[in-house]
Amino acid sequence: MIGTVTLVGAGPGDKGLLTMAGAQAIAQADAVVYDRLVREDILDLIPPRAEKISVGKENNHHPVPQPEINETLVRLAREGKNVVRLKGGDCFLFGRGGEECEHLLQNGVPFRVIPGVTSALAAPAFAGIPVTHRDFTSSVHIITAHARAGKPLTIDFDSLVRLDGTLVFLMGLTALEQVTDGLLRAGMQSDMPAAVIENGARGTQRKVVSVLSQLAAHVRAKGLQSPALIIVGRVCSLSDALDWFTPLPLHGKTIVVTRPKARAGTLADKLRAHGANVIEAPCIETVEREDTQPLADALQQPHDWAVFTSPAGVPAAVDALRRLGRDLRALYGMKIAAIGKGTAAALAAYGLTADLVPAQYDGEHLADALIDAMPQGGSALLLRAMQGGQILPEKLARMGIRVTDVPLYDTVHRCDKADALRGLLADGKIDAVTFTSVSTVEGFREAVGGTEDAAFTVFCIGAQTAEAAKKYYQNVEIAKNATIEDLLTCIEEEI
Ligand code: SAH
């Protein structure tokens, strides 16, 4: 059966501005054909089983010619695949989406279109520029300032000036002087407010706000680059007063999140909400162990406490029990300890309430709390990673507590973004790296190699994590308590 092609507008920036319908289409795709402007964190949403095809410039310095893209879409659909054609911004605004639909129609391939948030509207919004405003203008016009190869611009500047609306030019940075000169020659006042926004709606956004006659000089002086758009109109005068984005505490800072994918979300989203440019580069992965014998053996003996030392340990325990033909009732009668809030939340997802969470979320404090809870001695079943630290079992054993340490999963060092990270580090583009466990430190180190004189600051959760980081890096900060909230506060204060 022939597949369907879904054109999806990816929006202008990170995945927060991707529509829910778009995200759903990506999750169900068998193949994704994407452009250069689509950001990494959106590409991360592509299911691992799906074919990923880049038709952007970055890969080979030349964009894939349009007829070839059209043919690729038809070929994939004929293979019966659910194809997503992922485009920057909106798919029908200067994205050749229309041409692709015509080609699909001619070839009898069914298609759907999921519009996206266009940069033409989002970049001004993130720069404090409302594109219409009753005090200034009642229309907005979106124009391409891209000339066909070797040809001059064919923009009717006289008409544009007469419209007296807000003008947004896409693909116009190289032709900036031609645009401003054209408007001036057509009679637009030289002190008309105007702006250029680079990387609009992204953590790396930069803007230049000026007046028409001086815009080009200011933009060249600041060295703005593509992708960028030009906006001309009286509404630009509001840009500084209504700028809500630049004042965010982490604006302009590039921060790497190294936790594994499943756990990166909350930290990354919070950093983004505070204005940061976030690079999600998981440096470790948890792989559940096939061998369930240690757990089966452990369950032969009674234990007073079941101890979880990471959120990943909870589903790993559930899976291991399932493979033994059992379920969480196997822990019946035991009290349950969680190392921290995240682990307690993972337990809560299975309807379990932790009886004990130490005041500070690390192995040392967990051991102390368990020792306090078992003044007469007792027994503890540790359900955790093979690579778990020794402080917890050693401290418990020293106090005469019987410890059964059951490895449920391995923490392996693995980073798909190692090359990208190395490139950014070499260019000095990274301001901070966050570590939430010793293994993330080691995983990152393994991915990027030696960077002793690193220019970035390291932010850690947990004393042991910080200790591991200090082996390699000089600027190491540690969150007051081992929580994501405290990590954020620490980053905002120290970055
Ligand atoms: N379909 C896209 C536009 C494609 S044309 C959309 O709806 O946004 C490509 C041009 O869009 C770039 O040359 C640049 O002018 C503009 N553009 C795309 N993303 C941008 C961004 N994040 N910030 C500023 N301009 C952007």
Q: Is 227 in the pocket of ligand 1 (CB under 6 A)?
A: yes
326: left (phi over 0), alpha (psi -120 to 50) or beta: beta
pLDDT at 415: 94
Ligand 1 proximity of 205 Cβ (cutoff 6 Å)? no
Q: Write out residues in the chain with pLDDT < 50, as ranges.
A: 59-60
125 C-beta closer than 6 A to ligand 1: no
Distance from Cα 144 to the centre of ligand 1, integer Å: 10
Decide if 341 contacts 483 (C-beta within 8 A).
yes
CA-closest candidate to residue 481, choices 312, 359, 355: 359
| 345 contacts 466 by C-beta, under 8 angstroms | no
Please name the residue whose Cα sits nearest to atom 11 of ligand 1.
Answer: 170
Ligand 1 atom with least separation from CA of 230: 15
- For a mutational test of ligand 1's pocket, the pick from 40, 57, 170, i.e. the residue with the most ligand atoms closer than 8 A to its C-beta, is 170
* Residue 57 Cα to ligand 1 middle (Å): 14
Three-state DSSP state, 1 = coil
Compute, in angstroms, the gap from residue 13 CA to the centroid of ligand 1.
Answer: 10
How far CA 82 is from CA of 112, 133, 393, in Å, comes to 11, 42, 50
**Which strands make up the sheet holding 51-54, listed edge to edge?**
51-54, 31-34, 83-87, 5-9, 111-114
The greatest distance separating any two alpha carbons of the chain, rounded to the nearest whole angstrom, comes to 90
Q: ω into residue 193 within 30 of 0, thus cis?
A: no
End-to-end CA distance of the chain: 55
User: Is there an atom of ligand 1 within 6 Å of 168 CB?
Assistant: no
Tell me the C-alpha distance between 369 and 69, whole Å. 61
CA angle 90, 281, 470 (to 5 degrees): 145
Active site residues: 35, 57
* CATH numbers and ranges of domains, the chain: 5-117 (3.40.1010.10), 120-242 (3.30.950.10), 254-283+414-494 (3.40.50.10090), 297-408 (3.40.50.10090)
Question: Which atom of ligand 1 is found nearest the CA of 93?
Answer: 1
Radius of gyration of the chain (CA): 27
CA of 172 to the centre of ligand 1 (A): 10
DSSP 65: P
Residue 453's pLDDT is: 67
Assess whether the C-beta atom of 229 lies below 6 angstroms from ligand 1: yes
At residue 59, the pLDDT reads 40
Q: Is 143 helix (H, G, I), strand (E, B) or coil?
A: strand
DSSP 363: H
Is residue 170 in contact with ligand 1, taking CB distance under 6 Å?
yes
The pLDDT, as a whole number, for residue 468 is 94
* Nearest atom in ligand 1 to 169's CA: 15
Which pLDDT score is estimated for 402?
A: 97
Q: Please tell me if the CB atom of residue 142 comes closer than 6 angstroms to any atom of ligand 1.
A: no
Residues recorded for the chain: 495
Kindly report the three-state secondary structure assignment for every residue of 214-279: HHHHHHHHHCCCCCEEEEECHHHHHCCCCCCCCCCCCCCCEEEECCCHHHHHHHHHHHHHCCCEEE
- What stretch of H or E contains 473? none
CA 69 to centroid of ligand 1, rounded, Å: 19
Whole-number Å distance, alpha carbon 95 to ligand 1 midpoint, is: 9
Q: What pLDDT shows up at residue 60?
A: 46
Tokens representing residue 466 in the block: 């910080």
Residue whose C-alpha is closest to residue 24's, from 112, 118, 96: 112
Question: Is the CB of residue 11 below 6 angstroms from any atom belonging to ligand 1?
Answer: no
